Structure 1
Amino acid sequence: MTRRFALIDRDGTINVEKHYLSDPDQLELYPGAAAAIRALNQAGWGVAVITNQSGIARGYFDMARLDAIHARLTEMLATEGAHIDGIYLCPHGPDDDCDCRKPLPGMVEQAVAEHGFDPKLAVMIGDKEVDVELGLAVGAKTFLVRTGHGHKHVEGTKAAHVVDDLAQAVAVILGG
């Protein structure tokens, strides 16, 4: 049996939404986010971060800066005993013709290729309707969190579950 995966948006879901976060020192995890990821780890789930990062295409920061932010994220999670199996990003802008910008499935397809999981057994957790749409496109169960931009997307969302935050989503996933 293949391992199940949680596909989790970064900004507004794991860490506090900052307009085009470009400084690793400004990275701030939501309360309970690391513990939620740790709970997934302990339950045997894989965790992949799926994030649009158009700030690169827009020239707000470069890939080296984004790598530093992701190194800091990994370090902050590890401090609390949490681990992510991969970070998948789209560096393109909304007008670029790519197959990876959410809600298109390119990042999930990359994660599936690397980790060999069935996306129909996965869950997608995010704070925007594009996250929900991506989850639906790959057949995953969808969660919209109210953190970040989530509160603006609750009405009319196609998400299977609307929850307060990542911790509540994981509690539902793990049946706790």
Structure 2
Amino acid sequence: MKLAILDRDGTLGTAGPADAGWAALPGALEAVARLNRAGWHVVLATNQPGLALGELGMAELNALHASMHRALGAVGARIEAVFYCPHGPEEGCGCRQPAPGLLRQIGERYGAEPHETWVIGSSADHLQAGAQLGAHLHLVCEQTAATLQAGQPLPAEFPPQVRAHASLGQLVASLLPQDDLPPPA
């Protein structure tokens, strides 16, 4: 089994204000489609403190995720499940990243061992949670991590075993052989 746990914002896409919705990052949806075709399970793990703070309602969060799922489906990709922490930073829960609780729930649900799990994100919190799990750690240097570069030293808040990539597409290209691509039409 291969399980990819993606952070949503800055890795797969961007979430703007409730009226702006969700927008995919260039090549990210196609990267998820490649993982799907190669037999990977792909899920999201995301902190959603706006729910606890009253800045975001469940209807808005569901609408954002529905928009994301439609965009994925349009390119033949799918996210199997969305796991989120609804707590604010001050609540001290075990599911808010960098705590590993949310990622542990995902691993248990899928029956995945840490060595079968790739935690992929653009934030130190997401990758710190993955480090506590013992997963493979991959940084996508877009959005919140746009000032970082693959091949350069990372700031101290990132676990030392993190591998950095310019984009989700480049990460997936490094993981999968080229022969998983469909033949040209």
**TM-score normalised per structure 2:** 0.85
Greater alpha carbon shift after TM alignment, 114-123 vs 140-149: 114-123
1:135 CA drift (Å): 1.3
Change (3 A) 1:54 1:166: same
Q: Distance in 1 between matches of 2:118 and 2:51?
A: 27
Higher alpha-carbon Rg: 2
Structure 1, unmatched stretches of 5+, are: none
| Structure 2 residue aligned with 1:113 | 108
Q: Distance in 1 between matches of 2:67 and 2:105?
A: 23
Aligned-pair Cα RMSD in Å: 1.7
Q: Judge conservation of contact 1:22–1:60 (CA < 8 Å) in 2.
A: no
Q: Judge conservation of contact 1:4–1:118 (CA < 8 Å) in 2.
A: no
Matched, 1:33 2:38: no
Matched, 1:162 2:164: yes
Q: Distance in 2 between matches of 1:121 and 1:115?
A: 10
| Structure 2 residue aligned with 1:77 | 72
Q: Distance in 2 between matches of 1:155 and 1:100?
A: 24
Q: Distance in 2 between matches of 1:29 and 1:94?
A: 26
Secondary structure of 1:84 counterpart: coil
For residues 118-173 of structure 1, what are the alpha-carbon distances to aligned partners after superposition, in whole Å with 9 as ceiling and x for unaligned? 23311111111111111111111111111111134643432531111111111122
Q: Match of 1:121, as an amino acid?
A: E
Secondary structure of 1:120 counterpart: helix
1:112 CA drift (Å): 2.2
From 6, 27, 52, give the equivalent of 1:8: 6
| Structure 1 residue aligned with 2:59 | 64
Matched, 1:149 2:125: no
Change (3 A) 1:100 1:87: same
**TM-score normalised per structure 1:** 0.90
1:55 CA drift (Å): 0.9
Secondary structure of 1:50 counterpart: strand
For residues 12-37 of structure 1, what are the alpha-carbon distances to aligned partners after superposition, in whole Å with 9 as ceiling and x for unaligned? 1100254xx434x5311001011000
| Structure 1 residue aligned with 2:151 | none
1:97 CA drift (Å): 2.1
